[in-house]
Amino acid sequence: MAVAVGRVWHRWGVELREPANLVSPRAIPMWTVGALLGSLVLATAQVGWWLLDDSPFRQWHYVVGAVWFVLQAAYVVVMPRWRYRVHRWEATPSAIYTQTGWLSQERRIAPVSRVQTVDMARGPLAQLFGLASVTVTTASAAGPLEIEGLDLQDARALVEALTRAAIAQDGDAT
Amino acid sequence: MSATPEAPSSEELAWRRLDRRMLLVHPLQTLFRALPALLAILFVSIGSDDSDRWELLLLPVVVVFGLLQWVTTRYRISNGQIELQRGLFNKQTTTARLDRVRTVDLTSQVHHRVLGLAKVEISTGSAAKDRLVLDSLDVERARRLRAELLHRVDPAIAAMPAPTGPAREVPTAIPDAAAVDEELLRLDPSWIRLAPFTMTGIASAAAIFGFLSQGVGRFSEEGDVFESGARWVRGLDWWIDVIGLLVVVSLLAIGAYLLSFWGFRLNRNQAGSLHTRRGLLTSREVSIDQSRLRGVSLGEPLGLRWARGGRLKAVSTGLEGERGGGSDWLAPPAPVAIVTALAVEVAGDREAVEGNLTQHGPAARRRRLSRAMWLPIPVLAALSAGVALLGWSGWVLVLVIPVAALAVWLGIDRYRGLGHRVTERHLVSRNGSLDRARVVLDRDGIVGWKVERSFFQRRVGVATLVATTGAGQQHYDLVDLTPARTYELIGEISPELLAQFS
């Protein structure tokens, strides 16, 4: 691990590169199923409208239905793949670094010395695909670092490494 | 109770109770809280023929309930913790570690002040659940408790016989606060002239107006009074109305200023803790531990800026800001020179408080302007709809011009507000126009970084750098920097982080 001291980095043109690791490829189907479940809610609303509407003119049903179907289809196809290309993470003994989002993107960095909790969570969808998400919180209410769609083995290893590194640090990390 | 000195060993380790004088207040408070219910019962029974005033039986119940509150509440400090026990049937014990205590606030409402009492609120984190409330203690005893909590006086050590050799400071005898504290700020009554330039007057006027308009609907007889009043106001010349409104709003602002800031004092003790005291009717005392202070926020909202005023708040962990009743004030609205000097004193970094800021560049300026255009566009749409559908005169469209001019000015001013600077110890960021603030954040207080790029930000090649911290707003944003500049800033403040990921 390289440690630059002083003014070495105080110059133009230094790039913060992307984090090294992609999440598990199984995150794509997980996000797809999640998006499909979301559009199911819209479909239910559409069906309810069809059943409750008494007027004989149905063209508005077709227009609204077609619009949301196209948008949802694009979302379900595009979003998970785009996300997969963006979502990345990297953990070193002294820092953790994530990149998330798709249309709006975000990079978060926290030194391990400021880490307060490391959580691993597995929702129903994540369990279905053998995945887990790891959330790292700091003393700040803004900006916990969350890595979604990690392979279960990777997630366990990451939690263990971070916990071990965090224990080695002193202070109350505020 | 404080008048009778007790042996430290029994006082420090045994359970302590709230002040006995609270016996006068607790039943009354409970009674006041139950008053609406009691009145409702009274009204209902007046209508009936039943002559038994059975509802009066509730009064002793309420009083006994208040007494029980005193009897069942007790607290103690032992084993490095403070414990608070409450409740008769549902016993609740709250425990907090002394080294996690972040702030200790003393609040005295009018009835507390008459009796010489203060409510003590001990906070160990930013969440409301992390608060221990002792309502109430004798003022002097409350101050001693605060000193004990904030300076971690260990009663076990204090109780030990003094060692031979050089005299040592005896920790239980907290030195007379006024004698050793350094006074940093004291309210000058002439600052009250700045009150009309704050938003509080408008806010209180809006609240009163809302309350009255609700009341008019409820009570039709009084409604007549309001209606005739409204007619009278409408009958006056428009400029008299405007002046009248300004006078009312200014008076309200002055009233609010007096209520919250009368007697404002900021002291710093030898340990470096800041200590504020303020309030006309309800007095508040807030202590901010030096080790929790992560910087200052120099507020210069539009109105105050015009009047060459400013205000100062602490950026500290464990303070609740507005939600906590504004316990983070370090200076009330005051002349900007005084506020700036105080900020330099507290932050200890003149360059950070007064130095010129780096502007964020042309892309940031374009984005401020294009976002300001969201103001006139809906106005234009609404007016066009009015012309097209409701048959308004086409001349109303002219109204868009002043709105657009205002929006452009706002966009430019918001850009002028943007700026940042890195000094040896601080990261300085400033933004906003209507509510501009310059935040001087301790570099050690930064617990992480975010680089946010929304879809539109990515299109024009800018990013928002967010410094996350456990203090104050939890995050301070440097809006619309070039990506290269964000990385440069991360590299300057956290070189070890950038080194690993570049």
DSSP one-letter string for A12-75:
TT---PPPSEE--TTHHHHHHHHHHHHHHHHHHHHHHHHHH---S--HHHHHHHHHHHHHHHHH
B86-90, B153-157, B368-372, B439-443: least confidently modelled range: B153-157
The full DSSP string for B451-463 is: EEE-HHHHHHT-E
CA R_g for chain B = 28
Whether residue A86 contacts residue A102, with contact meaning beta carbons closer than 8 Å, is answered with yes
Q: Is B451 an interface residue toward A (CB < 8 Å)?
A: yes
B8-22, B194-208, B343-357: least confidently modelled range: B8-22
pLDDT in tens, A70-83: 999 999 999 999 99
Contacts of B418 (CB under 8 A, 6+ apart): B359, B360, B364, B368, B430, B431, B479, B480
Over 60: is that where the pLDDT of B7 sits? no
Residue of B nearest to A110 (CA): B448
Rounded (5°) CA angle A30-A35-A38: 130
Highest mean pLDDT among A128-142, B59-73, B333-347: B333-347
pLDDT band at B355 (very low <50, low <70, confident <90, very high): very high
Q: Which helix (H) or strand (E) holds B93?
A: strand B92-97
Whether residue B75 contacts residue B85, with contact meaning beta carbons closer than 8 Å, is answered with yes
The sheet that has A21-22: what strands, in order across it? A21-22, A88-91, A95-101, A105-111, B446-453, B463-469, B475-481
pLDDT band at A3 (very low <50, low <70, confident <90, very high): very low
CA distances from B81 to A147, B18, B154, B364 (A): 37, 18, 11, 50
Q: Which of A73, A80, A135, A131 is nearest to A110 (CA)?
A: A135
Q: B490 and A16 in contact by Cβ < 8 A?
A: yes
Residue A125's pLDDT is what? 92
Q: Is A4 an interface residue toward B (CB < 8 Å)?
A: yes
Mean pLDDT score across all residues of chain A: 85
Q: Is A173 an interface residue toward B (CB < 8 Å)?
A: yes
Q: Which helix (H) or strand (E) holds B419?
A: strand B419-422
Q: Where are the domains of chain B?
A: 189-261, 289-360+418-500, 362-414
At B359, is the secondary structure helix, strand, or coil? coil
Interface of A with B in 94-113 (CB under 8 A): 94-95, 97, 103-111
pLDDT in tens, B180-225: 678 999 999 999 999 999 888 788 888 887 877 766 555 555 556 6
Model confidence, pTM:
0.80
B476 DSSP β-pair partners: B467
Mean pLDDT score across all residues of chain B: 81
Over 50: is that where the pLDDT of B444 sits? yes
Residue B178's pLDDT is what? 46
pLDDT band at B163 (very low <50, low <70, confident <90, very high): very low
Average the pLDDT over B416-428 and give the result: 95
Over 90: is that where the pLDDT of B420 sits? yes
Average the pLDDT over B113-132 and give the result: 77
Whether residue B313 contacts residue B329, with contact meaning beta carbons closer than 8 Å, is answered with yes
pLDDT band at B493 (very low <50, low <70, confident <90, very high): very high
Q: A95 and B492 in contact by Cβ < 8 A?
A: no
Over 50: is that where the pLDDT of B438 sits? yes
Average the pLDDT over B252-279 and give the result: 89
Between B457 and B154, name the one with better pLDDT. B457
Rounded Cα distance between B101 and B35, Å, is: 36
Average the pLDDT over A36-61 and give the result: 87
Average the pLDDT over B43-67 and give the result: 68
Q: A10 and B445 in contact by Cβ < 8 A?
A: no
Q: What is the value of ipTM here, to two decimals?
A: 0.85
Best interface-test mutation with B: which of A17, A145, A174 has the largest number of B CBs within 10 A?
A174
Residues B41-55 as b or e (16 or more Cβ within 10 Å = b): eeeeeeeeeeeeeee
Whether the upstream peptide bond of residue B136 has omega within 30° of 0, thus cis, is: yes
Percent of chain A with pLDDT strictly greater than 70: 88
pLDDT band at B320 (very low <50, low <70, confident <90, very high): low
Q: Is A41 an interface residue toward B (CB < 8 Å)?
A: no
Rounded Cα distance between A172 and A113, Å, is: 9
Rounded Cα distance between B381 and B185, Å, is: 51
Residue B16's pLDDT is what? 85
Rounded (5°) CA angle B39-B41-B47: 105
Over 50: is that where the pLDDT of A11 sits? no
Helix axes B400-417, B376-390, angle to 10 degrees: 170
Average the pLDDT over A121-133 and give the result: 93
Backbone dihedral angles phi then psi of residue B116, each to the nearest 5 degrees: 70, 40
Over 50: is that where the pLDDT of B172 sits? no
A56-60, A103-107, B2-6, B73-77: least confidently modelled range: B2-6
Over 70: is that where the pLDDT of B170 sits? no
Q: Which of A1, A24, A11 is nearest to A125 (CA)?
A: A24
Between A100 and B148, name the one with better pLDDT. A100
Rounded Cα distance between A26 and A31, Å, is: 9
Q: Is A15 an interface residue toward B (CB < 8 Å)?
A: yes
Residue B411's pLDDT is what? 94
> Chain A contacts of B491, Cβ < 8 Å?
4, 9-10, 14
Which tokens hold the place of B38?
């009691």
Which of A9, A17, A97 lies nearest to residue B495, judging by beta carbons?
A: A9
Q: 10 Å Cβ neighbour count for B17?
A: 15
Over 50: is that where the pLDDT of B68 sits? yes
Whether residue B72 contacts residue B123, with contact meaning beta carbons closer than 8 Å, is answered with no
Contacts of B43 (CB under 8 A, 6+ apart): none
pLDDT band at B162 (very low <50, low <70, confident <90, very high): very low
Percent of chain B with pLDDT strictly greater than 70: 82
Average the pLDDT over B452-475 and give the result: 92
pLDDT band at A116 (very low <50, low <70, confident <90, very high): confident
pLDDT band at B159 (very low <50, low <70, confident <90, very high): very low
Over 50: is that where the pLDDT of B167 sits? no
Question: DSSP assignment, residue B358?
Answer: B
Q: How many helices (H) and strands (E) does chain A have?
A: 4, 7
Nearest-CA distance from B486 to chain A in Å? 9
